[in-house]
Amino acid sequence: MTQAPLPPLPRPLTAVGEPRRTGVEIELGGLAEEQVARLAATHLGGQARRATGEDWEVTGTRIGALKVYLDIFLRKHADGALKTLGLKIGREVIPVEIVTDPLNLEELRVLSQFIERLRKEGAEGTSASVLYGFGLHLNPEIAGTADADIVRPLLAFALIEEWMHETWPIERTRELLPFTAPYPRKLVAELVRLGPDAPLAEVIAAYRAQTLSRNHGLDMLPVFTHLRPDLIAPDEGTGGTIHPRPAFHFRLPDCRIDDPDWSLGAEWRRWWLVEAITERPELLETVRQGWTESKAGLHLLGDDWVARCDAILKRAGLV
């Protein structure tokens, strides 16, 4: 298999000149936690050990520490027989999750090679069963703490989310599950109205007025609660525990690890595109104006935004 490239982000450095890092969460089936942990130690170096219960950790690898566990709500919130039953049932439909440290670009490329090793060892992705809905989450470190560093990527994603679902569709199972629900139309409209130079406080107010769920393709609650805990608190969110951090939580990508034509790089391009639009203010404004024009008025048979967005991005040389 030819690995899709992992190009540098359009802004590869933070405001203080350090390489930006990206944490990765990989959901998969077909392999147990211990198998994944021991494969990681063999391929990446380090030591695998059982942490608690069925949870494993791998330390001292070439890409830092890894956590490996069954990604199920019961594992954190239940005890005794109920937890044991939940874990047994969960193994049929709930993914094993690998969580990495924040990685630089070269470490992401090493992780991509390890993903290929897991595929060869029998790892299964979301297309392997109608019961699966496995994702690959990216947590790119923010480039800076200025309002525009947060507001513009959010606006860019909100504008192209509909196009992305149509052009690079995710698996049907994940579309039906609530974990990657599109942003509410009213939220996108308010972000468009506020614009790319809106104060972060106003954007947070608009966001929390429309959704406090983590279950969106781009979950902004971790970075919002990190930067402005005075405006939004971690315990206000729904859909999972919020860990404040200076990173976007991009939940949209699939994990199709058993597909030889799929790779980490194939999903990386989704976020890379968001940032590529972000870094071209004139293009961001063109996309914003195009969305406004396409969504204006009543459209009984649907509007033309996906086609118009596609044309804009093609003219810009981005797709």
- Give residue 92's pLDDT band: very low, low, confident or very high (50, 70, 90): low
pTM of the predicted protein model: 0.92
Indicate the pLDDT class of residue 264, thresholds 50, 70 and 90. very high
pLDDT at 178 over 60: yes
Pick the residue with more confidence: 179 or 156? 156
- For position 62, what pLDDT does the model report? 98
The mean pLDDT value of the chain amounts to 91
Residue 302: what pLDDT? Answer: 79
The answer to whether residue 185 scores a pLDDT higher than 80 is yes
Structure confidence at residue 246 (pLDDT): 98
Q: What is the mean pLDDT of residues 193-204?
A: 98
Q: What phi and psi values does residue 41 have, to the nearest 5 degrees? A: -65, -35
Please compute the mean of the pLDDT values over residues 78-91 and round it to a whole number.
50
- Which pLDDT belongs to residue 81? 47
Q: What percent of the chain has pLDDT over 90?
A: 81
pLDDT at 72: 61
pLDDT of 87 reads: 54
Looking at 39-53, 65-79, 290-304, which range is the least confident one? 65-79
pLDDT of residue 90: 56
Residues 6-19 have a mean pLDDT of 96
Q: What's residue 186's pLDDT? A: 97
Predicted local distance difference test score (pLDDT) of residue 172? 80
Residue 89: pLDDT band (50, 70, 90) is low
Q: What is the pLDDT of residue 88?
A: 53
Record the tokens describing residue 233, joined without a space.
């608190």
The predicted pLDDT at position 50 comes to: 96
* N- to C-terminal Cα separation, the chain: 22
User: Does residue 74 carry a pLDDT above 70?
Assistant: no
Whether 143 contacts 14, CB under 8 Å: yes
